[in-house]
Structure 1
Amino acid sequence: MTARELDAAGITEASTRAAYTRCRALNARHGKTYFLATRLLTPDRRPFVHALYGFARWADDIVDAGTGTGPAGAAPATRKRALADLETVLLDGLRRGRADHPVVTALSDTVRRHRLDHALFTDFMASMRMDLTVTAYPTYADLAGYMHGSAAVIGLQVLPVLGTVTPREEAEPAAAALGVAFQLTNFLRDVGEDLDRGRVYIPGDLLAAHGADRALLTWCRRRGTTDPRVRGALRETAALTREIYRRAAQGIPMLAPVSRPCVRTALVLYRGILDEIEAAGYPVLHRRVAVPRRRRVHEAARGLAGVVSSRVSHRARPWRMSCDAASDTTEESTA
């Protein structure tokens, strides 16, 4: 993390600055689309968003036992212990305002500065525990219960950092919806990978309505193909996700003007994953679909134009800030 961002955010203590820098590195490595959009935030907001996402990434790594901070290839019992240890560190960090682990140190500092409700994090951990034992969701209502803790609360955590021009509670439903839309997009993109982990996030009743089930998903995964029944279920999932994006978009005008380009760009880029999946014929059981770099660059440029406009309009050091944003966004979008 650049010293400029940390200085702008008023983060002065050396170990706390190092903690935020660790979170930024996690985000840069794991979430290219999300990270690119974050570059459109004002520098004083970026460290706090990195802290929130860095913690979520750490917990997710433990659950998936993948690369990064989680124990690679760990047995379920090991992952359960690691997640329990993380929750202990989290609760202690929230209580004391800092922790021995840098990610929780940055998170705790963010929570204190923005007066975030601790329940947002305990709800998140509850959903992470579900991922250790729950392998399928019979209905969308069941899945929505899981997504409250795993996705909606992320939107609610980030909202105070972004700032609003309306009372915060008016913007909260749209912020929660955006978190859910992002996660449903990930579920659709990662159907094959999640199946390899033993999980199916497409609701059972939605699959059944199209004559599909886990066995058919597994069959398609093994053969590198997509059955028409599966394609129908995936198409309905995409349509459902688009409707949630529409609800989420209604909250963008409620945000602080300098934060709107970031959120709008993230929404467009993530929704663009749906476009790419549909255009490719829903091949998500055997390959990951991504938004092409040229489109990411194009949307980043549009977002940058919005940044410049909003900062000039609100007299937020327009020349220096817009040049900083241009440098950052160009660097990340071409990486």
Structure 2
Amino acid sequence: MLWAGEAGIEQLSIDAKHAEVSWGSLWRPRHYEGHSEPQHRWQASVTQPADEPKFGMAPLAWGTLKAAAYALLFAIPLALGAAIHSACFMSRQLRHRLKPTIEMMEAMPGVVIGFIAGLVLAPYVERHLAGVFSLLLVLPLGMLFGGWCWSLLSPSLRQRLPIGWAGLWLMPWVAVLIATSLALSPTLERLFFSGDLRLWLEQTLGLDYANRNAMIVGLAMGFAVIPTIYALSEDALSGVPASLGEGAQALGATRWQTLWKVLLPAASPGIFSAVMIGAGRAVGETMIVLMATGNTAVMTWSPLEGMRSMAANIAIELPEASVGGTHYRLLLLSALLLFVFTFCVNTVAELVRERLKYRYRRLEGGS
């Protein structure tokens, strides 16, 4: 570079190896060539030399949080519900057999779950989309209806179907609800959506349906997170002194009042830690997101569209990135951000757990 100064013309050398990116350009929308408005884009590979790579990390961060959010939305209610039933209502004999079985689910490799989700679950959900959506309404109402029917039984029949063994005798009823919803999927599409739910979603709501999407990732990754949240939450609930619950029931509280007012608050530090550990697992998961989604770096809340997480992006692009280049450094930055995020989440979880533990220490000590 030539520069005209007071001493005459001088030649300056500028060493800016990575001038195309900055901290602001990584997170703010940029105006790329061929687009009328600034956009968040990640496209490291280009097809022509004249094209410019797009290094916007906002879609990757969004995809990471989106995948974790949908996984926890599926896993937390099931895992906590199973832990509450196992620790507070289930018979001891069934609990000793069921708990190790659920904990063994954690040993299943993520690549196996991702393979099943991408090649089996995703096509099946696409063929029975209306039935899958109807399950969101049918299962909760069906379980409430089943509980209401159980309360109408005679005392002799209720003794044969004790609440402590509900985890077994309710399974056929749940299977009937699921099979009925999926079998009625074509009928529901024909009656309410003109025979094609995907076309109805696109024309009416403007939602595009991708074969591998956030909903599939949430189901698959939620399945992988459930054993962790369940095991830790169940241990926390089982660790509450039995005298607390017995004292509450002796004062006239029902089993549900004892659960909500005494047992859950006392076990809340352990339950919170379980949820945070599950969130850390969901944020860092790679193979499930890699195989069960389309790996498209888009920013949308729709569960019917895909995403690309930071961990999956590292697994895809790191082998092809030139060492020392801008692309390579940004992938290492992504790994560092994942570490920092997980570290901060675990730190906050530990601080909150200690605060909750201190709050309920008197209650446990007084028992």
Of Structure 1 and Structure 2, the greater helix share is in 1
Higher Cα Rg: structure 1 or 2?
A: 2
Greater relative contact order, per chain length (Cα 8 Å cut-off, separation 6+): 2
